[in-house]
Amino acid sequence: MPAKKSNSKKQTTGTTEEWFDRSGNRVVLVGKIKRIVFENDNVCKFSIDCVNKTDKGNYAHAFITCVQFKSSCDYEIAEDELVSISGRIQTTSYNGNYSTQIVCDKIYEEQ
């Protein structure tokens, strides 16, 4: 005799932050802060220089654009400071152009 199918729907509850933790859209980066641009009192955009060692022993630099909202981070950033950040990937479009950036949740000073 086959098993009965359940008609109950799976309910999702929790905060938006808990949903992002379950969604898999999480990023952790370590690098030096470069090119800080303050758009206004609540938004700061910057690049983080992540260094990778290639198979040939050379170093490759990846400059990744990040955005920090004052409401989500209490940490003041400074250029050329080594930090680790956690956040999520966000892609936006404007006038047919696409931009991918990291929206920071936490910023930690590395030692």
How many residues in the chain?
Answer: 111
pLDDT at 10 over 50: no
Instruction: Tell me how far the alpha carbon of residue 13 is from its chain's centroid.
Output: 23
> What is the model's pTM?
0.68
Among 65, 3, 4, residue whose Cα is nearest residue 35 = 65
| Cβ 75 vs Cβ 82: under 8 Å | no
Chain segment 40-89, per-residue pLDDT in tens = 778 888 999 999 888 998 999 999 999 988 765 556 778 888 999 999 99
Higher pLDDT, residue 37 or 32: 32
Higher pLDDT, residue 42 or 32: 32
